[in-house]
Amino acid sequence: MNFHAVKAIYKFEMARTGRTLLQSVVSPVVSTSLYFVVFGSAIGSRISEVGGVSYGAFIVPGLIMLSLLTQSISNASFGIYFPKFVGTIYELLSAPVSFIEIVMAYVGAAATKSTLIGLIILATAGLFVPLEIQHPVWMVLFLLLTTVTFALFGFIIGIWANNFEKLQLIPLLVVTPLTFLGGSFYSIDMLPPVWQTISLFNPVLYLVSGFRWSFYGVSDVNIAVSLGMTLVFLALCLTVVWWIFKTGWRLKA
């Protein structure tokens, strides 16, 4: 294992966060704070509690999850796409660095940045609503699994995309709508039976539900199912990344 190469790529990616601090950290925190103000005031005044939890506190895990998904994908996809765009990806592929080390560095940096943003948003949420974390170990586990899984997903998007428009296509048109429809701001128990069944086909529901359970002990689906679905998606992303480097798809063309 070439840890020097992993460290070099990791430090380079982390340094980019410092150069774009407003875009990387401040912007998602401010956006999430606005969600608290709008949803907490407008909707929270009409919905007192959901599952025995005040509405303002209920949406905290969903808002953190929304930020985690978008930031993990964005950081990882841009991190690997930019070397493709400027042509330095060929220097990386010809260097004595294995694909495992490349993935570890890029995905690790993206997951680290997203985790830090998630923790900052969690601390910010404490300024708006009273928070309770009943299962802190599970909360950290879901946090790390989510950031790593969607950083891998973003890595795949970055390799697949051949222009900046495609880089934003899936996050904007697929991931964000699924997050909003995945119980981030409501419990699926509030939906008609038909829509409850349809919601069960939304993979983001299991992430949000499991993460919310770690806070308040309430969830829309069983915690074991939430964890299982997260691990299945992680395994799927790992398989796709392995296939990409094995075949050189979108890398050597």
Under DSSP, the state recorded for 44 is T
Q: How far apart are CA 253 and CA 249, in angstroms?
A: 7
pTM: 0.91
Percent of the chain with pLDDT over 90: 50
Structure tokens at 144: 């790390």
pLDDT above 90: residue 27: no
Average pLDDT rounded to a whole number, residues 185-191: 89
Average pLDDT, the chain: 88
User: At a CB cut-off of 8 Å and minimum separation 6, what does 64 contact?
Assistant: 32, 118, 121, 122, 125, 211
Return the HEC string of 130-198.
Answer: CCCCCCHHHHHHHHHHHHHHHHHHHHHHHHHCCCHHHHHHHHHHHHHHHHHCCCCCCCHHHCCHHHHHH
Average pLDDT rounded to a whole number, residues 228-239: 95
pLDDT tens-place string over residues 45-103: 677 788 888 888 899 999 999 989 998 999 999 999 999 888 888 888 888 888 899 99
